[in-house]
A and B are shown apart, each in its own frame.
Chain A
Amino acid sequence: MTDQGINFFGKITASATHEFINILATIRETSGLIEDLLSLRPVDDSGDERFAGILKKIKEQTERGVSICEKLNAFSHSIDEPRSRILIGGLLDQVVFLMQGICRLQRVYLIRDSAHQIEPPTAIISNSFRLQLALASCIETCLAGALPEERIRVQTELAGERIAIRFVIDTNGSRSPQKLEIPGRFGELNPILNDLEAQLTHLDKPGQSGLTLSLPISSTDNTHE
């Protein structure tokens, strides 16, 4: 897709998600008003329990919608600047959140591995949209090599002068790890990987399969939060 196409797509998505956020805000306030009015009624009205249950469902689904819209809105704004300061942890949270639906369709669980994260949180200067595209492609490749009920664990580690983002297929020990096919589309991604100064390799951990995407620290602003 050309830059013009990407900008168009981002603009429309940003506008639509903004509208959705407004709709969800209205639903939330309206259900909140019902709660407020119910709380003014006498305590022993037996119908209130049912109303409370219904309102709870509305609230839960509204919060779910808000979460999705916020992440999608943030994603659509990632094309706004060609290079920006990016907190790697926050960006991974966003990509994992947005890709979970795709993984769920194959009954594969996509998770951020809290035991393997860089501390303190690290920021880099890069192109947010392209980086998310590279990260999502890694997840899709792992998804192609995963079976239902398996997990894809996303880990980060400082490795010398680079940040390593690992995508590990967790088979629960039920089968031998198989080397993933890095599909042809990564050839199409090569210009993007070059722009990011990223290196994509198979996971080098024995007994595990997956991918490692590494980014140079020289593209970081060496800022720790």
Chain B
Amino acid sequence: MMKVLLVDDEREFVTTLAERLQLRDIIPLVATDGDQALQIIESEKPPVVVMDVMMPGLGGLDVLQAVKRRHPEIHVILLTGRGSTQDGIRGMRLGAFDYLMKPVKIEKLIETMESACRSDTESAV
């Protein structure tokens, strides 16, 4: 079963999303800030991280850079709520696998997560 770390400072949003993913046989881990996210990444090493860009303190792009430095094999999918795509494009340049605009349809999110996991299999072949 796929394991994913969800990172968003909006607790209600991220816990509800986790519950929905669990109903779809995906193992969700949850963090509500960048520091907590990095701790969970070190201990659990989830293959995929879905992360909000705009968070107080350590933002999504800062966490992305840290993850790519220490664990380049982990795929990061960014969620951005901004009206422009600047954050997403910046994130792609920093090594994000993809970026999605909030609010995101769950089917689209799962499709992107599966695509990230498949990219490991394809590059290994």
Interface residues of A (CB under 8 A from B): 14, 17-18, 21-22, 24-26, 28-30, 32-33, 36-37, 40, 62, 66, 70-77, 80
> Are B103 and A28 in contact, CB atoms less than 8 angstroms apart?
yes
- The reply on B12 being an interface residue by CB < 8 A is yes
Chain B residues in 8 Å Cβ range of A70:
83, 101
What is the bound-complex CA distance between A32 and B10, given in angstroms?
17
What is the bound-complex CA distance between A57 and B13, given in angstroms?
20
> Are B20 and A36 in contact, CB atoms less than 8 angstroms apart?
yes
Q: How far is the CB of A171 from chain B (nearest CB, A)?
A: 35
* Chain B interface helix/strand/loop/mixed: loop
- Residue of A21, A71, A77, A80 near B102 (CB, 8 A) is A21
Chain A residues in 8 Å Cβ range of B83:
14, 17, 70-77
7 contacts between A and B (CB under 8 A): A21-B103, A26-B10, A29-B16, A29-B103, A73-B83, A74-B83, A75-B83
Please encode chain B, from 27 to 67, with 1 for each CB lying within 8 Å of some chain A CB and 0 for all others. 00000000000000000000000000010000000000000
Chain B residues in 8 Å Cβ range of A18:
54, 81-82
Q: How far is the CB of A123 from chain B (nearest CB, A)?
A: 15
Chain A residues in 8 Å Cβ range of B16:
26, 29-30, 32-33
Chain B interfacial residues counted at CB < 8 A: 18
Given A18-B82, A25-B13; 13 other pairs, CB 8 A cutoff: A22-B10, A25-B81, A25-B102, A26-B13, A29-B16, A29-B20, A30-B16, A32-B16, A40-B23, A73-B81, A75-B83, A76-B83, A77-B82
> Are B84 and A24 in contact, CB atoms less than 8 angstroms apart?
no
Q: How far is the CB of B99 from chain A (nearest CB, A)?
A: 15
- Residue of A22, A26, A33, A77 near B19 (CB, 8 A) is A33
What is the bound-complex CA distance between A207 and B68, given in angstroms?
63
Interface residues of B (CB under 8 A from A): 10, 12-13, 16-17, 19-20, 23, 54, 81-84, 101-104, 106
Of listed A22, A40, A66, residue having the most chain B CB within 10 A: A22
Chain B residues in 8 Å Cβ range of A21:
81, 102-103
Q: How far is the CB of A128 from chain B (nearest CB, A)?
A: 10
> Are B84 and A74 in contact, CB atoms less than 8 angstroms apart?
yes
* Chain A interface helix/strand/loop/mixed: helix
Chain B residues in 8 Å Cβ range of A62:
103
What is the bound-complex CA distance between A28 and B104, given in angstroms?
9
